[in-house]
Structure 1
Amino acid sequence: MKLKKDENAQSPLAAAWREIQPKLQRRARHLCKGDSHRADELLSDTALKVHLYLQHSASRVQNLAGFIFLVLNHAFLDATRRRGRENRVFDRDCDWDADHIIEYASGNATPEQQLDLKQQLDGMAQARAALNPQQQQLFTLKFEQDQSYPEIASALGINQALARKRVELLRKKLRNEMA
């Protein structure tokens, strides 16, 4: 391998990182409320984002140490928002081992449970029938075929952000129809 460099020479990012690493770790742990695993993940994400940014726009950064702290804060906000979105999508409090779910799955549901399930399914069918053709197509792509947002965007000829927004609006409409 011909990648031999002067071992004493280091990139400006590596030098700045080593210099402020203890302060970065304290800040990351503070942001993560003492969770060292999340703090380490946050630091990794920060290092990657700074590295990628510096590859393209290194000349724009005047104060590298300050920039690293700024990116740390932004990475924390990104992670917090992502967790918030995931918590809205995934019901982490749901007890998948609950008896009523097992009864539904096994077909041993009581008549009351069967009636409740039938009413919910009928309500969903009515809500779906009330959708316009574009919304029905979106419903099929997202909820029946379980396609990802890039696949939905490609199928509809739109960008991913618009696909996400349309699915969000579709969910709101379905909730309102079901209520």
Structure 2
Amino acid sequence: MDTLQVFLAAQADLLRYAARITGDPAEAEDVVQDAWLRFRATASARILEEPNGYLFRIVHNLALDRQRRQGRENRVFVGGATVATELVPSDQPSQQARAEAKDELAMLHKALAKLPVRTRRAFEMYRFEDMKLVEIASELGVSKSLVSEMVIEAVEFCKKALRRRH
């Protein structure tokens, strides 16, 4: 028996059959290719009474196996993804944490408003505008060491304001 002739004669029918089961022509081609490899290995090891029927049975089993595996994968990776993402804790702060942060920010604004203008400005340039102490000193017309002292004073003042709250 020439296994290649049997396979080639049935190939178009096998593709249609596999496509009906899998619902995907590309998947059907893979099934038929796998079926050919199994059919050839089996036919070389023993004589087949019904080679055509045996070939269709191989396609049927492979197509069903792939369909089942795809269903399991979809349940685990697609359907399970929704469940899994719901179990992951949010990285967003809680309502309470937001309210506390808002209160702290308001206290910091009040504390900064109480600082002398030049000290507050030195702190803002250093912290919010990312300027270097030398640049701030040049901008304010003072020494670098004085700017350093002003920034430290502002930081300490803000820390004390927050501690008084707690």
Q: Which has the higher contact order (CA 8 A, sep 6+)?
A: 2
* TM-score where L is the length of structure 2: 0.46
* TM-score where L is the length of structure 1: 0.43
Larger Rg: 2
More helix by share: 2
